[in-house]
Structure 1
Amino acid sequence: METEGKTMRMETVPENLEWSLSTASVQELMKDQRLDGVLPRYSRDVDAIGDICEVDVPHIDMAKLMKEEYNNSQKTELLKLRSACKDWGTFQLVNHGVSIGALKGIRESVKEFFELPLREKMRWAQRPGSLEGYGHAFVTSEEQKLDWNDILFLKTLPPDCRSYDLWPDNPSHFQRALETYTEEMRELAVSIVKYMVKGMMMTADGLEAADDGAEEDHNKLFCESLRRGNYDVRINCYPPCPQPERVMGITPHVDISAVTLLVECGNTPGLHVLKDGRWVIVPPVDGAILVNLGAIMQIFSNGIYKAPDHRAMVNKYKERLSIVTFCYPDPSLDIGPSKQLTGESARTPPIYKTVTNSDYFHHFFNLKQAHDPFLDSLKI
């Protein structure tokens, strides 16, 4: 494996999507002053970009959701949340309660890490058989098109899942910043999912479904499972590109989490969400955290909520850094539709299968292609 050159190769071919072939560092490619175009493995047809538009993504106010007494203001915000989850699958969350200190600490740490020389970053390079560490994701062959990014992927919660030997100690404050940040993101995930589930049980005019004993307990169990669940962090670096219209920062996909929380490290737009067949630009919003619904939430809502296709595009002149936290329920919880929505009293048949947590992930990581229609494969 070369650590100073452009390409880092492994002889072993990945058996599934749980690990990735090593490829060139895109940051290092961009340091080559001779590169005035896009290398063939990154170049895509312009038609693949599709139609792009600018429409305001919904904004949800966490402070209004958390009012101690249920009132019209909270009810209105719950209906907005339900609509955002149903029609978009994504929204900007404001007044979210994550501390300024935690956000500042992780942003500074991420920026400093990606400013390190390649030789230093390679101290935490991915190893065969794992996606953890510095490198790339879902590169399974020497022929596939590559995304225009470098990543650092780490398992963060519960603490006993951490591979601290892959957590950078340069900059020196990185590990502590990530620990603090992840704890606060867990609290946010637990809170926002509770309101998502509450909104899921409302009708369009704001009426709430009646409680139904054990079936209602299934909803509570799902919400509480986020506190004991697994949390992974993927830090993305999208270097500037001489021909941004010919590459993808990240290929279109649906997250497999319950929810995904995205924090931008600057004001460079890059995230696109698919809405009604068109790609919508989602610019960074000062002070907001973007919430994206994952496949688990679409399944749990029995298709009421959507996990949107989304992608990342890149900029000709500016680097973009983002921090993405994937939030999963407790591994002991089976993944399937809410019993309160599909139980006997609801009389609504389940659209999706109920599978064990391990079967759910085994199914995803052993797809023939990284972007097969995963959700469709779990339908009854």
Structure 2
Amino acid sequence: MAVPVIDFSKLDGDKRAATMTEIARACEEWGFFELTNHGISSKLLEGVKKVCSDCYRVEREEGFKDSKAVHLLNELIDGGDSRARIDDVDWEDVFLLQDDNQWPSNPPEFKETMREYRSELKKLAEKLLEIMEENLGLERGYIKRTFAGGDEDGCRLPFFGTKVSHYPPCPRPDLVAGLRAHTDAGGVILLFQDDRVGGLQVLKDGRWLDVQPLAGAIVVNTGDQIEVVSNGRYKSAWHRVLASRDGNRRSVASFYNPALEATIQPATPAASAAPAVYPKFVFGDYMAAYAKQKFSAKEPRFRALLGNM
């Protein structure tokens, strides 16, 4: 059993219907799939790999050696307790890129490369949302408008952020997670993962399966808000990253999420009379709960929002 790999270029041509079905099935049965031939140039992707790796080496690597994760692991190893694990930190160096925060200045080409990449990824995310809308029987643009809080004037936009992560070599990967198991809080997530160092896994039918590194592919997963909008037809999948002794895993994840003010609820396609099985809530309230319970089951977060509106 392997994570579905979908050739995005087949949407243009006589394979469109079959490709739409592939994407629908991946969203329904996996919550994860890999896209090839997605339209983002290999030259740009190679540039992203280079500037992110150079940025880690120049600006981040020394700081990680003094991180909480490293200190806790060293204390555990020095204490000699082989039965213990570190359960409250991740073996991850991470920073966020968004339109209004400070970006790294090294290497010099980092900003230009990542601006171009984020622009391309945002367009790809919106194409995927249109495909999901069509497969779900929703009006074109429904999810984007919902994520913008129904703002017709364009003054408020969905949130688009990019998380740049590195998972350095770990001396005891049995004692700490690269990234603890969780579902993603937001909408649709597009990941450009390392094509040499693995470690990403998705939970499928009670088994943890590798999301295999595939050169040039973009990994897509659906977040909690797509689960709500689809009324449970699409599920957000549990996933994690394993720490590793070998290699420095690079991960560039872009999140197309609702604005904090957006009201999220199950959509009601014209062809469906199914009752809503998720509450109606403001995304900012959901994020407040998620910040405290990211690594716990998602269902209590939904239940806690019942009656908030």
Q: How does 1:173-192 map to 2 (within 5 A)?
A: 173-192=109-128
CA distance in 2, matches of 1:119, 1:245: 22
> Secondary structure of 2:252's partner?
strand
Q: Are 1:57 and 2:15 matched, yes or no?
A: no
The structure 1 residue matched to 2:20, chosen from 70, 78, 81, is: 78
Larger radius of gyration: 1
CA distance in 2, matches of 1:119, 1:244: 18
CA distance in 1, matches of 2:237, 2:263: 22
Per the TM alignment, residue 102 of structure 1 is displaced from its structure 2 partner at its CA by 2.6
Per the TM alignment, residue 145 of structure 1 is displaced from its structure 2 partner at its CA by 3.0
Q: Are 1:377 and 2:301 matched, yes or no?
A: yes
Per the TM alignment, residue 321 of structure 1 is displaced from its structure 2 partner at its CA by 0.8
Q: Which moved more, 1:349-358 or 1:291-300?
A: 349-358
CA distance in 2, matches of 1:56, 1:300: 26
The alignment yields a C-alpha RMSD, in angstroms, of: 2.7
TM-score by length of 2: 0.82
> Secondary structure of 1:274's partner?
strand
Per the TM alignment, residue 346 of structure 1 is displaced from its structure 2 partner at its CA by 2.3
CA distance in 2, matches of 1:109, 1:101: 12
Q: How does 1:130-279 map to 2 (within 5 A)?
A: 145-154=88-97, 156=98, 159=99, 162-164=100-102, 167-201=103-137, 216-217=138-139, 220-223=141-144, 228-279=157-208
CA distance in 2, matches of 1:224, 1:61: 27
Per the TM alignment, residue 361 of structure 1 is displaced from its structure 2 partner at its CA by 2.1
Q: Which residue does 2:79 correspond to in 1?
A: none
Identical aligned residues as a percent: 29
1:350-371: per-residue Cα shift (whole Å, max 9, x none)?
0111112322223323x3x442
CA distance in 1, matches of 2:134, 2:142: 13
Q: Which residue does 2:152 correspond to in 1?
A: none
The structure 2 residue matched to 1:360, chosen from 265, 278, 286, is: 286
Does structure 1 conserve the Cα–Cα contact (< 8 Å) formed by 2:27 and 2:235? yes
Per the TM alignment, residue 65 of structure 1 is displaced from its structure 2 partner at its CA by 2.1
Q: How many residues were matched structurally?
A: 280
Q: Are 1:92 and 2:34 matched, yes or no?
A: yes
CA distance in 2, matches of 1:276, 1:237: 28
Does structure 2 conserve the Cα–Cα contact (< 8 Å) formed by 1:222 and 1:329? no
> Structure 1 residues 118, 91: closer, same or farther in 2, change over 3 A?
closer
Amino acid in the other structure paired with 1:318: G
Q: Which residue does 1:286 correspond to in 2?
A: 215
> Secondary structure of 2:213's partner?
coil
Amino acid in the other structure paired with 1:249: G
Amino acid in the other structure paired with 2:57: E
> Secondary structure of 1:81's partner?
helix
> Secondary structure of 1:245's partner?
coil
CA distance in 2, matches of 1:292, 1:135: 29
Unpaired stretches in structure 2, ≥5 consecutive residues: 70-85, 149-156
Q: Which residue does 1:300 correspond to in 2?
A: 229
1:160-191: per-residue Cα shift (whole Å, max 9, x none)?
xx122xx1111111111111111110000000
TM-score by length of 1: 0.67
> Structure 1 residues 111, 276: closer, same or farther in 2, change over 3 A?
same
1:278-318: per-residue Cα shift (whole Å, max 9, x none)?
10011111121000110011111100011000000122221
CA distance in 2, matches of 1:221, 1:89: 20
Q: Which residue does 1:3 correspond to in 2?
A: none
> Structure 1 residues 74, 224: closer, same or farther in 2, change over 3 A?
farther
CA distance in 2, matches of 1:283, 1:119: 26
Amino acid in the other structure paired with 2:279: K
> Secondary structure of 2:263's partner?
coil
Q: Are 1:349 and 2:291 matched, yes or no?
A: no
Per the TM alignment, residue 261 of structure 1 is displaced from its structure 2 partner at its CA by 0.7
> Secondary structure of 1:116's partner?
helix
Per the TM alignment, residue 107 of structure 1 is displaced from its structure 2 partner at its CA by 1.4
Amino acid in the other structure paired with 2:121: M
